[in-house]
Structures are given as structure tokens and as C-alpha cells.
Amino acid sequence: MSTVTHDAPDFELSEELKMLRDSVRDFSDHEITPGAAARDANHEFPTEIIKRCAEMQLMGITIPELYGGAGLGNLALSIVLEEINRADASVGVTLSVHNSLLGGPILKFGTDELKKKYLPRLASGEALGAYALTEPQAGSDSANLRLKAEKKGDRWILNGTKIWITSGDRAGLMIIFARTDTTVSKAKGITAFVVETASKGFKVGKQEEKCGIRSSSTVEIICEDLEVPDANRLGGPGDGFKIAMDTLDGGRIGIASQSLGIHRACLEASIKYAKERKQFEQPIGEFQAIQWKIADMATDLDAGRLLTHRAAWLRDRGLPCSREASMAKLFASRACNRAADETVQIYGGAGYTKDFAVERYYRDARITEIYEGVTDIQRLVIARGYLK
């Protein structure tokens, strides 16, 4: 009988990760949840909550201690994001983008100078991060970019528009993907730049009115002769699409984690209501129809968490995880939406009102199947991984 000697994931969290989970859960329960409904109703950006997240070192979870971060990795980030999103998905997506979509690529692809210059600002919360890839004609076809960058001496001049940019009007730093070469294939002619949003030529356009995650800011950004030093380029000219796709692996783990948080909030709310609500002289949790809904929710939650933690575990070790990240996002986001639907059904008419948080969970859940790659794109990534 052979002995398994390779490094395999441990289903038991380390004491350090348990302590992190418990502290963030307590923070979420006492400081995030109480104001979540009001922030949602008023479309109020969670400025003070983000400051508290910075104080708790949640703005630099994967950033090494050398640069002022916690140096804990993607599994820790997933655990944190589940707890935050259980309380407020708007706070959750803001943290996910900041950590996964800006801190991540600077750490992996930035020069030593860029890391020294920007990672401490991200880790401390001095600057909030954003990620600008999508354009009106470039959604799922993300290589079809038209925002252009032209080289002039030691600088690049950016012109064009990006849409649906999370935290775009709040961010101090942003990664912007631009077309720098029109003579090669679409994917090979893209370059990534780290942009300081205080720069001349950076403008904020339309503010989106959204169905859910309404206290998260989502805007159009416009570059008008925006100058970016060549030193702020990530990777080489033409490496942008590769960087964008690698970064989205981390982002998909982040959104899978968001799905887990919303899903868990739905399950906990369903269990509580099933015990309290009485019909036909007994709690509705005594009915098999309700029990089956809760059983399916609980099983899907565990399955989604295992998929998500596996993808985070692989990414922490520098192993390929595109397929696994897409599996995690595909399953966790769809399960989250099923759970939100069933939770409203368990609450009945009450679940369709703002008297209970479940209607917010229902609205917030829907976006998890859209951003960081729609559900069908995840299926393509997974299938191509196998068909290779």
C-alpha cells in the first residue's frame, strides 16, 4: 500500500485562521450588519467601515508584511470575505476588488519599485484599489478593448472609456488595461498600467443605479490624455491580457467567497424563521418541504466552500487554478442564488418586503453570476481546461 506524501489541503483550519475568522465575524456582527440596510437604502458608500477594515489589516491580507500587509494569503482572504459578505455584500465586493484585483497583480507582476511605492498604501488603506477592464463593447469579449495608450518618451497617453468600475470614484489607485498595439491579435496588443486617480485627465462619468450591492460604488471612468509613467506599467508591453486573466482567477475566488457569505446569511435566516414562524399550529420547520429546502441549502454551502478553499489553496502555492477558480465561482454563485430564492420563499410575503434582510440578500446574490465573468464564461473556462 502506497503512502500519500504530497502536500494536500487540510480540512481543519489552522488556529491562526480560526482566530482571524472569529475576529472578523465579531466585527461583522457588531459593526457592519447594524447599518447595512440603511446604507443599502441610501446608496451610502461604507467609508467608515472601510477605515475600520484598514485598522484590522483587512486591506492587505495577501500583501507581505514587508510592505505593511498581513501576509496571510488567498485562503485567509476567502475566509474574511465570507464573513464580511454575510453581513454586507457591498462592503464585501469593495474589499474583494481592493485585495484581489489590485493588490494581487501589483504583488505578482509589479517591479520592486512599484511594490515599494504602492503596496504599503493599499495595505494601510490610504488608497482604495480598483480594476478597469470592461468597456461598452468589451464585456465577456474582454480582449476587444478600444481604450488606447500611446507611448511618448517615458510616458503613455491614455484615451478612452471604461464602464462598471467598482469603487472607480473612490479609488486612489487603479489598474487600467489599454490597447497599445493594433498590428497584432486583440489579446496580444493589450498592456496594463497602475494609475493614480488624482492624475490630470482621469475623470469619473456615469454613476450606475443598481439592483443590488447598492452601497458599493459602480461608475464609468474616462481617460482624456491621461499621462502614465512607463515605470507604472505592469509586465511588458502586450502582457496586459495575460495579467488580466491571471488576476481574474483571484477575483473569481473572491466572488465565490462573496457567494458563500450571502448564502450563509440566507441559510441562517431561513433556520431562524423556520423555528419561529408558525402555521397550522406548529413551526414551519416541522414541515418536510421546509426541511428539504434547508438541507439543500446547507449541502450546497459546504460544497461551494470546499471548491472555493481548494482554489484559494492552489493559488497560495502558485499552482494553476484557472479551472478550479471558475468551478468555485460557477457553483458557489449559482448555489447562492438558489439559496436566496428559497429563503424568500420560506419567508413568503414577508420575504418580499424590506422588513427582513432576505430581500436584500436576494438582490445582492444576483450579481455574483455576472461580474468577474458571467456563468457561461465560467463553463467555457472549465470545459477548455478539460478539452486541452
Asked if 16 is an active-site residue, the reply is no
240-276 and 288-316 helices, crossing angle to 10°: 150
> Whole-prediction pTM value?
0.96
Q: Please tell me the CATH code under which domain 15-127 is placed.
A: 1.10.540.10
pLDDT score at 8: 55
Residue 127 contacts by C-beta under 8 Å, 6 or more apart in sequence? 118, 121, 171, 172, 173
pLDDT score at 2: 42
Pick the CATH number of 130-237 from 2.40.30.10, 3.40.718.10, 2.40.110.10, 3.30.300.30: 2.40.110.10
Domain ranges within the chain, ordered by starting residue: 15-127, 130-237, 242-387
- Whether 15-127 and 242-387 share one fold: the answer is no
Kindly report the backbone phi and psi dihedral angles of residue 164, in degrees, each rounded to the nearest multiple of 5, phi listed first: 60, 45
Q: Please tell me the CATH code under which domain 242-387 is placed.
A: 1.20.140.10
pLDDT score at 11: 82
Buried b (16+ CB within 10 A) or exposed e, 141-163: ebbebebbbeeeeeebbbbbbbb
pLDDT by 10-residue block (mean), the chain, 388 residues: 51 93 98 98 98 97 97 97 98 98 98 98 98 96 96 97 98 98 94 98 97 98 98 97 97 98 98 98 98 98 98 97 98 98 98 97 98 96 94
- Give me 211's grid cell: 439592483
